Amino acid sequence: MRLAYAPYILKFKNPSGTSRGVLTEKPTFFIKVFEENNPSEFGIGECSVFPGLSPEADGNYGYKLIELLANIALGKETDLSAYSSIKFGLEQAFRDFAGGCRHIYFPSAFTGGKESIEINGLIWMGDFDQMIERIDEKVSCGFHCIKIKIGAIDWKREVELIEYVRRKYSDRSLEIRVDANGGFSMDNALPRLKRLADLGVHSIEQPIRAGEPELMAFLCQVSPLKIALDESLIGISSRSDKEFLLDQVKPAYVILKPSLCGGFSGAEEWIRLAEERGIGWWVTSALESNVGLNALAQWTATLNTKMPQGLGTGALFLNNFECPLKLEADKLSYDASKKIEDSIYSQLDWRY
């Protein structure tokens, strides 16, 4: 068995505001596994690294890919416990190869075109009028759940934004999730959480920054609004450390990004541990290209969840790849008749 990898820069159609600043591009890496005597048949995956959020996004990332390449050729294991995004991509590539190199990573009724996944509509950060326009557009397209990233404008304006939404759409017709990305402090968190709860918000992701589990545990205990952990899961790889965090903080939900929390296998362990404790969860993409998003959606479809999931649609990038995923209203489905030609990957700068 052999492995190759290729760096790639995804270009945003429009500058996109995140808690890590305004993004115009994002690096990613593709990997493929193949038999040396038949390189035209390969399984492909995406290592979706996220600078500023992925702990492994440093100067050693390329060296880790070279180490993995060498170890695959030698039949040796590689320690990827600190490299979630590489583990995410490698699991994809091996599953694709084992399934006949058809880019069917997790066969199900979803990949057969018979079931769909309900997703939330993500409202990117922007000024007040931009965000209002984006919310109305999502609702008009048929979304019943939206996720608003807060922290881009001042708090009073963000409250006005949600008040506007609630005047137009009741909590029965529209579920509102918000994501603070650690933007609250302990001085202002409780009154803000109460105000959001009064406005009928469903939940909030990461109200205070990761790395303060005692303070987060206190908030989860007293908050009138359900709290979900997101960034707090990043970098935690051992089962015992996962159990300790969940038992200490006791969140209402955990948000699972396999490229940031140990690949599919790591995310599945988080799910098992959360469910044992009565903690809810949903899956969120992390700016993958359509390669990683395709695998992520297929995996999510096997998890038997009825909650809206936080999956992207691949429409953010100018230079994305063909994909059988399609979106109708708020339902993400798989077009089983659409075949992906491997020739689209031939122009990548593969390193062997």
Of the residues 257, 326, 331, 338, which is catalytic? Answer: 257
Fold of the CATH domain 2-102 = Enolase-like; domain 1 (3.30.390)
Q: Is 27 exposed, middle or buried (0-12, 13-18, 19+ CB in 10 A)?
A: middle
The residues, ordered by sequence, that sit 6+ positions from 216 with a Cβ below 8 Å of its Cβ are 207, 208, 227, 229, 232, 249, 251
| pLDDT band per the 50, 70, 90 thresholds, residue 4 | very high
Higher pLDDT, 322 or 279: 279
Note the pLDDT tens digit of each residue in 144-182. Answer: 999 999 876 789 999 999 999 999 999 999 999 999 989
Note the pLDDT tens digit of each residue in 244-288. Answer: 999 999 999 999 999 999 999 999 999 999 999 999 999 999 999
**pTM for the full model?**
0.95
194 tagged catalytic: no
Domain boundaries, the chain: 2-102, 117-334
257 tagged catalytic: yes
For tokens 């489905």, what's the residue?
333
Q: Is 96 exposed, middle or buried (0-12, 13-18, 19+ CB in 10 A)?
A: buried
Fold of the CATH domain 117-334 = TIM Barrel (3.20.20)
Look up residue 306 and give its two tokens.
Answer: 């009825």
Note the pLDDT tens digit of each residue in 24-73. Answer: 899 999 999 999 999 999 999 999 998 888 889 888 999 999 999 999 99
Render 73-122 in DSSP notation, one character per residue.
HHT-----TT-HHHHHHHHHHHHHHHTTSSS-SS-STTTTTS--EEBPEE
Of the residues 32, 138, 147, 149, which is catalytic? Answer: 149
| Least confident window among 1-10, 16-25, 235-244, 331-340 | 16-25
Q: Mean of the pLDDT values across residues 5-17?
A: 88
